[in-house]
Amino acid sequence: MDKFCINENYTLYEAIESIDENKSRMVVVTNDEGIVIGVLSQGDIIRALISGHTIYNRVNELLHPNFIYMHEHDIKKAFDIFKKKGITLLPIVDDSFCLKSIITMKDIYRYIENE
């Protein structure tokens, strides 16, 4: 799960590295308490760089706090959300927004195959 997740104090550079490694086009961002506070996509990073930010800016200046999440791991529901929203990662969080797991495109493909 580590490669899908970065701390809010990481730089854009580190976020890009993480996205490069996870091949999911986005990362989940947590704070020091391990609480999910947003997500950051490849597109967000490109937009940030175009508008004058540098790769050394911190991700907490740029992330979207209005991310899509689920409290329960429900792959069928997740499939609907992926389809409708075009997202590539879906964090599953507990009641206090600590990260429990992440649903990726891979999980979705597996679900489609089995259906």
Partner 1 sequence: MKKIMVLTGSRGEWGYIRPIMRLAKTRDDVKIILVVTNMHLLSSYGSSYKEIENDGFTIDYKINMSLDGYNHITHAKSLGICLMSLPDIIDVEKPDWVLLAGDRGEQLMGAIAASYTYTPVAHIQAGEVSGNIDGMARHAIGKFVHMHLASNNDAFIRLKKLGEESFRIFNVGAPQIDEMVQSKYTTIKELEDKMHVDLSKRYVISVFHPVTEQSSKAGTQAELLIKCLNEIDLQKIVILPNNDAGSTRVKDAIFNNRRGDYYIYSNLKREDYLGLLKNATFIIGNSSSGLLEAPTFCIPSVNLGRRQEGRCRGVNVIDVPFDEKMIKEAIDKAMSKEFRSYLDLNCKNPYGDGHSSERILDLLMNTKIDEKWIVKKLTY
Q: Nearer to partner 1 by C-beta: 23 or 43?
A: 43
- 81 forms part of the interface with partner 1 (CB under 8 A): yes
Regarding 65 and contact with partner 1 (CB under 8 A), the answer is yes
Q: Give the whole-angstrom CA distance, residue 35 versus residue 13.
A: 22
Q: Which is nearer to partner 1, 95 or 115 (CB)?
A: 95
Residue 94's closest CA among 74, 67, 72? 72
Residue 6 near residue 14 (C-beta atoms within 8 A): yes
78 binds partner 1 (CB under 8 A): no
Q: Which stretch binds partner 1 (CB under 8 A): 10-18, 20-28, 59-67, 102-110?
A: 59-67
- Please identify which residue in 96, 113, 114, 115 interacts with partner 1, judged by CB under 8 A: 96
Site for partner 1 contains 83 (CB under 8 A) = no
Crossing angle of helices 42-50 and 12-22, in 10° steps, is: 150
**Residue 82 Cα to chain centre, angstroms:** 13
Q: Is 26 helix (H, G, I), strand (E, B) or coil?
A: strand
Residues that bind partner 1 (CB under 8 A): 31, 33, 35, 37, 64-66, 68, 71, 81, 85, 95-97
